[in-house]
Amino acid sequence: MKGLRITMRGVVVQWTPRPLPTDAPDHGGIAFVDRDGVLNVGSPNYINAPNELVLLPGVASSIGSLRRAGYKICIVTNQSPIMRGLWDVERIHQIHDAMRDMLLDVDADAHFDAVLVCPHRHRDRCQCRKPMPGMIRLGEQMFRHTPPEEGRSIIEIDAGQKVHWWDEKIQPSHELDAMIGDRNSDMGAGWAQGLRCFKVNWNLGITSVVDRVLDQKDRGDPFDPMR
């Protein structure tokens, strides 16, 4: 007989959109940003509580600069401790509430509009765990077509179109959309949606690429998902 299983098929969402700063251009681009190793110092044992959050240098002003340049900010993060049963969904929201305050304390424009969390493990074979692009697809949908209820929710995503990893990179739904991450799984998810992909070193984080993301002619780092 099987034991009890935690089942959660959906993406854990915080939807907290805010108008862009005054004078920001209205081009509609979205910056999809990985969390650990990009915004905060990562840990092999996960970030398990708000007091374990340590921002990387310059992160708040980088997020602020992106919003001042017209980008909406959508954090996309794999957090398997949830399906591993280490802690619950409430905890991830507490961590992100703390992170929001930490960023805004330093730069009043450093607001993130959404956080999307894949709570699954590899073996759950979901569509959201990066390098699958499910969270990016959901983010595009939320920002451009069907905004969810404000605040917290769990949104199930359907299998959608397959990713053809062996084909050419597809056209993005918006030229300026970008994926910023420290791992190949981040690059893979961005590649699968045709985004400009920027890889950062985990100990430098987003600050090291923000000028490139702001350069609309920079098409991002080359990435081959089959290598």
State the catalytic residues: 34, 36
Site stretch for Mg ion (CB under 5 A), options 36-44, 61-69, 90-98, 212-220 = 36-44
189 binds Zn ion (CB under 5 A): no
Binders of Mg ion: how many residues, by CB under 5 A? 4
37 binds Mg ion (CB under 5 A): yes
Return the residue matching tokens 């920027």: 198
The answer to whether residues 30 and 143 touch, using CB atoms and an 8 Å cutoff, is yes
Site stretch for Mg ion (CB under 5 A), options 6-14, 33-41, 65-73, 96-104 = 33-41
Nearest to Mg ion by Cβ — which residue? Answer: 37
Q: Is residue 79 classed exposed, middle or buried when 0-12, 13-18 and 19+ CB atoms within 10 A define those classes?
A: buried
ω into 225 cis (within 30 of 0)? no
| CA Rg value for the chain | 17
> Nearest CA to 120 among 110, 108, 128, 131?
128
- Chain positions 122 to 161 lying near Zn ion, rule: CB under 5 A, are 126, 128-129
118 binds Zn ion (CB under 5 A): yes
Using the rule CB under 5 A, which residue among 120, 130, 137, 183 binds Zn ion? Answer: 120
Site string for Zn ion, 73-112 (x = CB under 5 A): ----------------------------------------
Q: Which does 129 bind (CB under 5 to 8 A by kind): Mg ion, Zn ion, none?
A: Zn ion
> Nearest CA to 102 among 52, 139, 153?
52
- Chain positions 86 to 145 lying near Mg ion, rule: CB under 5 A, are none
For 161, other C-beta atoms within 10 Å of its C-beta total 9
Residues counted in the chain = 227
Q: Is residue 145 classed exposed, middle or buried when 0-12, 13-18 and 19+ CB atoms within 10 A define those classes?
A: exposed
β-pair partners for 31: 73, 178
For residue 46, the minimal CB distance to Mg ion (Å) is 11
For residue 34, the minimal CB distance to Mg ion (Å) is 4
Site string for Mg ion, 177-206 (x = CB under 5 A): -----x------------------------
> Footprint of Mg ion on this chain (CB under 5 A)?
34, 36-37, 182
